[in-house]
Amino acid sequence: MRVLYNRIMSKTLIFGGAFDPPHIEHVAMCKSAMQELDIERLVVVPTFYPPHKSAGFLTFEQRCDLINVAFEGLNFAIDDIEKVRGKDNYSAVNLPLLKEKYGDIVYLIGGDSLEYFDTWYHPEKILQTCPIAVCQREGFDDAKTIIDTLEKKYGGDFILLDYVGKNVSSSHIKAQLLLGEKPDCIDDKVYAEIERLGLFGEYSDMVARLKSYQTDELFAHSKAVVLTAVDLNSRHNLKQDFTKVFLACLLHDNAKQRPSLDGLNVPIDAVGTPVLHQFLGAEKARRDFGIEDNDILDAIRYHTTAKADMTMLQKLVYTADSVSYDRYYSPIPSIRKIAFDNFDEGFKAVLRYTFDKVSAKGNGMHPLTDEAKHCYLDK
């Protein structure tokens, strides 16, 4: 691993990403890399359709507009290679083309991306093309170890930058914007442009309707579950569709303070019990919010009891509900830490805690929770 790289002024820094939306850490990373490596030129490469991510809410053109605002003041250009090519937009494919165009290049990535670099499409071809500058990131402390392992496996050069970036998640920011909040990590000028263009308003009516159904405390919990889930999804690269995660978490408690059955189809044995709202919530999400996606509806339907053979989306909503950022009472903070360190262990810890808590109260255990325990804890 080279901590420093030969400083050659003619090099170009390549920085790719969805930029959906661009935030202050994107800019800070580039400024720091350019300063440390004495690179004068930056090329920002927005993804057209990321192979490893769900499609974003913003169009390519909208993201480019925001990039121009966010990176104003830097010597940069936007390259639309991904839009031009349209498919197979992998770094291993595009970086050689960018090298032909710009000459000597350095590829900038974050410490979070480094964790999954070994799973990228042909990582050896990336390292054969150019050195990779790695910006360390809060909460990702194994950069040196990972780099040593990757260099032994693939060869090539990594440059570990001194700058340690804040742990900022684009998914978290996107969720905040969709919830009608202004994220701290969005530059004021970028936020003003977002408002001017009317972006991230897809679910404003839904959010307002949900708020009218819930107390301030419960609505705050619903938002906290959304943000916890999108962070868990990003932290562990669970690859769950952002929209499904957002909607399932937002609406998971939509019926908690609306217990009237209204002739909707719910299990008879759930009526009058603390788990009624999960079944009723799925039905009211369909009726009142127009949700037709069965993945979303089932994640709502089992978010309290859990069940055997859960999908990853169901596990994510179930776990995020229990360890959400608004829950401070013991032992939730410690279970939340487990979930962020190891998602599978966190899910099991939540299930174990829930089972023990219900058992201690002497209440009857719901059959679905019993089945979940046998499926996940009794092996």
Domains in the chain: ranges and CATH: 12-171 (3.40.50.620), 203-376 (1.10.3210.10)
The pLDDT of residue 264 is above 90: yes
> 2 versus 275: which is more confidently predicted?
275
SS3 (DSSP) at 304: coil
The pLDDT of residue 362 is above 90: no
The pLDDT of residue 54 is above 70: no
The pLDDT of residue 51 is above 60: no
DSSP state of 269: G
- pLDDT at position 1 is 38
Which of 151, 101, 102 minimizes the C-alpha distance to 131? Answer: 151
Q: What is the mean pLDDT of residues 77-91?
A: 93
> 207 versus 112: which is more confidently predicted?
207
SS3 (DSSP) at 130: coil
SS3 (DSSP) at 319: helix
- pLDDT at position 141 is 72
Residue 331 token pair:
């032992």
Region label for 122, one of left (φ > 0), alpha (ψ between -120 and 50) or beta (otherwise): left
- pLDDT at position 166 is 87
pLDDT in tens, 98-126: 999 999 999 999 988 898 899 999 999 99
Q: What is the mean pLDDT of residues 230-244?
A: 94
The pLDDT of residue 5 is above 50: no
pLDDT in tens, 292-312: 999 999 999 999 999 999 999
- pLDDT at position 112 is 84
Q: What is the mean pLDDT of residues 145-165?
A: 93
Q: What is the mean pLDDT of residues 328-349?
A: 97
Which of 229, 232, 271, 263 minimizes the C-alpha distance to 246? Answer: 229
Residue 164 token pair:
């340690």
Which of 120, 98, 110, 113 minimizes the C-alpha distance to 43? Answer: 98
Decide the pairing of beta strands 132-137 and 12-17: unpaired
Q: In this structure, what are the phi and psi dihedrals at residue 108, rounded to the nearest 5 degrees?
A: -100, 130
CA distances from 189 to 72, 174, 195, 309 (A): 10, 16, 10, 46
Q: What is the mean pLDDT of residues 34-54?
A: 83
Q: Cα(first)–Cα(last) distance of the chain, in Å?
A: 42
Task: Give the separation between CA 251 and CA 348, rounded to whole angstroms.
Answer: 23
The pLDDT of residue 50 is above 70: no
Q: What is the mean pLDDT of residues 206-215?
A: 98
Note whether 5 and 37 are within 8 A (CB).
yes
- Label residues 260-277 b or e (16+ Cβ within 10 Å = b): eeeeeebeeebeeeebbb
Cβ-based burial of 152 (10 A; exposed 0-12, middle 13-18, buried ≥19): exposed
Q: Residue ranges of the alpha helices (H) in the chain? A: 24-37, 60-70, 81-85, 91-102, 111-115, 123-129, 143-154, 170-178, 188-197, 204-213, 216-235, 242-250, 276-289, 294-301, 312-323, 332-341, 343-361, 367-376
Note whether 14 and 108 are within 8 A (CB).
yes
The pLDDT of residue 139 is above 80: no
Sheet (strand 105-110) strand order: 76-78, 41-46, 12-17, 105-110, 132-137, 158-165
- State what percent of residues in the chain have pLDDT above 90: 85
Torsion on CA atoms 205, 207, 213, 215, rounded to nearest 10: -140
Task: Give the separation between CA 239 and CA 64, rounded to whole angstroms.
Answer: 25
The pLDDT of residue 254 is above 60: yes
Residue 367's pLDDT band (cuts 50, 70, 90) = very high
Q: What is the mean pLDDT of residues 167-185?
A: 94
pLDDT in tens, 341-354: 999 999 999 999 99
> 50 versus 360: which is more confidently predicted?
360
The pLDDT of residue 55 is above 60: no
Task: Give the separation between CA 266 and CA 296, rounded to whole angstroms.
Answer: 17
The pLDDT of residue 165 is above 60: yes
Q: What is the mean pLDDT of the chain?
A: 93
Residue 169's pLDDT band (cuts 50, 70, 90) = confident
Least confident piece of the model among 50-59, 154-163, 253-262: 50-59
- pLDDT at position 379 is 74
